[in-house]
Amino acid sequence: MGSSSLRRTRITGNGQQFRELSDLSTNGFSLSDVDERTVSGLCDNYPFNGQSAYSGVIEYSEDAMWGGGRDIELEFEFRDQSNLFILDTEVDLPSVESVIQKLNTLSPDDVKIYRSLTVHRERLWDFLNNADKIIELTLIGDQGTEISFEELDSELHEPELEIEQYPIESATVVFSYEGEQILTRYTDGTLSVQSDVSEATEYLVQLFERDVIGDSGD
Amino acid sequence: MAGAFPSIAHLRAEFRPFLSEYKSSILAWGSGILGTVLWIASSVLTSTPVAVSAAGMYVVPAVGYYLAYRPFGIQIDLTPIATVEGEKEPDKVAESRGEAILRSGECELRGGVTISERLDDFALQFDVPDDIRVELRDIPCAEQEYDPEKNILWADNVSVYRFSIVLLVYSDEHVEGQTYEYPLKIRDGEGGKPVQSIDLVTR
């Protein structure tokens, strides 16, 4: 099952900068030419209708600790209004981190891909609460220890704190789009979306852009 | 956003937390006793210079204490997290040394921020050297904003005075086996005085 990992970026100017990333190719790390498309809303009240998405392919040779290694191919996309950077991958998370680290090292200083999404906590809570099903939820308690959703009632020592005031360590939830189940996982400050149907993935990314990133209207 | 120089409102908000801390310091006791002795001496001797010295004995140490230990009214407690056999656990040993160990080039810090209820606004800058990066995992409260470029968390109209934060510190170019120390300073406003300092140690 394909997985899309969402990151936040800072790019001065517009997404044209991503066109120049293909010049950054080095030994063991290359970027294809970048295509541009316009994003049209799949969900209601999508705030970034008409934004440009710049996409391409990264080819990356990952070294192994004991020789060998493997070649990895990842599709990436940058959205110029929500400032999301999305890596589509079949591989595990550590490889995604090393690709982002490599991109940050090679890119000019005005292009930066962050490790964490750094969104408002209560909007993330609302987004996860709107899922069809919550499979797993772990919070970070007062002393830095982790508390599972099941332990919450018994272990919360300070009832004056609302549940939404606790940082989320990890959450696995399921959304659905036209009968397709979309497994969504928030962990270490990033969101990954798993679905075999690209339109379902796009729908979930747009939900996240609308409910968590877009202007809250406060 | 609060800058490097505190506003009158900021000073007023700091006053009570400062006073309660200063009153319990040895400096306050010493200057209080000496000031009182000088004050009595000034009335016995009817000497203006002694009276001025007595007033100075009260005021100067208090101002010095404020300048040396400000800011008051913001408290931050952070615990570094270590991954032991796949489980994340508080690293109490590193915490007791005021350190956080960057294993494989990164470390997570979890903790709480307490703001004086007299503060209307605050700004915290998470400041690290160029070789290290620091990110806030999420923005704790709706009333707060975060600038990821300057690493500043701030609120202009504070209504939540206690909240949890999670920080990720990492190096993009770490080399295994080499030990370096970098300071993480959490400052009161951009370029302001550190509220909390932690040594980030790469191993």
With 0-12 CB in 10 A as exposed, 13-18 as middle and 19+ as buried, what is B18?
buried
Partners of residue A143 in chain B, C-beta under 8 Å: 79, 90
Cβ contact A124–B138 (<8 Å): yes
The residues in B 106-135 lying below 8 A from A, measured between CB atoms, are 110-112, 133, 135
Average pLDDT over residues B141-170: 93
- B163 touches B140 (CB < 8 A): yes
pLDDT(A53) > 60: yes
B89-135, pLDDT tens digit by residue?
899 999 999 999 998 888 999 999 998 887 888 999 999 998 899 99
pLDDT band at B3 (very low <50, low <70, confident <90, very high): very low
| CA B76 to each of CA A169, A177, B80, B111: distance values in angstroms, whole numbers, following the listed order | 20, 43, 13, 7
Which residues are within 8 A (CB) of B186 and not within 5 positions of it... i.e. 6 or more apart? B76, B124, B125, B126, B127, B194, B195, B196, B197
Chain B residue numbers touching A121 (CB-CB < 8 A): 138-141
Q: Are the beta carbons of A121 and B166 separated by less than 8 Å?
A: no
Give me the residue label for tokens 């609308």: A210
Query: Does residue B156 surpass a pLDDT of 50?
Result: yes
Indicate the average pLDDT of chain A: 84
Contacting residues of B for A127, CB less than 8 Å apart: none
State residue A11's pLDDT score: 78
* Rounded CA separation A97/A94 (Å): 5
* Greatest extent of chain B over all pairs of C-alpha atoms, in Å: 75
| Residue B146 contacts A, CB cutoff 8 Å | yes
CB of A61 closer than 8 Å to CB of A28: yes
Q: Whole-angstrom Cα distance, residue A84 to residue A191?
A: 11
- Confidence at A92, pLDDT banded by 50, 70, 90: low
Q: Which residue has the tokens 């993480």?
A: B184
Residues B16 and B118 sit within 8 Å (Cβ to Cβ) = yes
DSSP characters over chain A: --EEEEEEEEESS-THHHHGGGGG-BTTEEEPPPEEEE---SSTT-TTTT-EEEEEEEEEEEPPTTS--EEEEEEEEEETTT-EEEEEESS-HHHHHHHHHHHHHHS-TTEEE-SS---BHHHHHHHHHTSSEEEEEEEE-TTS-EEEGGGHHHH---TTS-GGGSPEEEEEEEEEETTEEEEEEEETTEEEEE-S-HHHHHHHHHHHIIIIIS----
Q: How high is the pLDDT of residue A191?
A: 95
- Per-residue pLDDT of A150-176, as tens digits, reads 777 665 555 456 778 889 999 999 999
> Taking residues B179-194, what's their average pLDDT?
89
B125 within 8 A of B110, measured Cβ to Cβ: no
Domains annotated for chain B, with CATH where assigned, are: 8-69 (no CATH), 74-202 (2.60.40.10)
For residue A212, count other CB atoms closer than 10 A to its CB: 20
Q: Which residues pair with A8 in a beta bridge?
A: A84
pLDDT at B7 over 70: no
d(CA A126, CA B107): 28
Residue A178's pLDDT is 93
**Do A115 and B141 make contact, defined as CB atoms within 8 angstroms?**
no
| Yes or no, beta carbons of B135 and A118 under 8 Å apart | yes
**Euclidean distance between CA atoms A200 and A208, whole angstroms:** 13
Mean pLDDT of chain B: 85
Yes or no, beta carbons of A122 and B141 under 8 Å apart: yes
Q: What is the pLDDT of residues A184-207, one digit of tens each?
A: 999 989 999 999 899 999 999 999
Tens digit of each residue's pLDDT (9 = 90 or more) over A102-138: 888 887 777 889 999 999 999 999 999 999 999 999 9
Q: What is the torsional sign of CA A109, B107, A90, A208?
A: negative
Q: Do A142 and B164 touch (CB under 8 A)?
A: yes
pLDDT at residue A64 greater than cutoff 60 = yes
- Say if A63 is an interface residue toward chain B (CB within 8 Å): no
Q: What is the ipTM of this complex?
A: 0.89
Chain B residues whose beta carbon lies within 8 Å of the beta carbon of residue A142: 112, 164
The SS3 of residue B176 is coil
Alpha-carbon distance B26 to nearest alpha carbon in chain A (angstroms):
32
pLDDT on residue B1: 47
User: Is residue B43 within a helix (H) or strand (E), and if so which, with residue range?
Assistant: helix B26-45
Q: How confident is the model at residue A146 (pLDDT cuts 50, 70, 90)?
A: confident
**pLDDT at residue B21, rounded to an integer:** 75
Inter-chain contacts counted by CB atoms under 8 A, chains A and B: 79
Region A91-101 average pLDDT? 72
Buried b (16+ CB within 10 A) or exposed e, B154-168: bbeebeeebbbbbbb
What angle in degrees, to the nearest 10, is found between the helix axes of B26-45 and B8-23?
90
Phi-psi region of B157 (alpha: psi -120 to 50; beta: other; left: phi over 0): beta
More confident residue, A75 or A67: A75
Contacts of A114 in chain B (CB under 8 A): 135, 148
Using CA atoms, how far apart are residues A10 and A59, in angstroms rounded to an integer? 23
B17-46 tens-digit pLDDT:
777 777 777 888 888 888 888 889 888 888
Per-residue pLDDT tens for A9-33?
A: 887 766 666 666 666 677 778 887 7
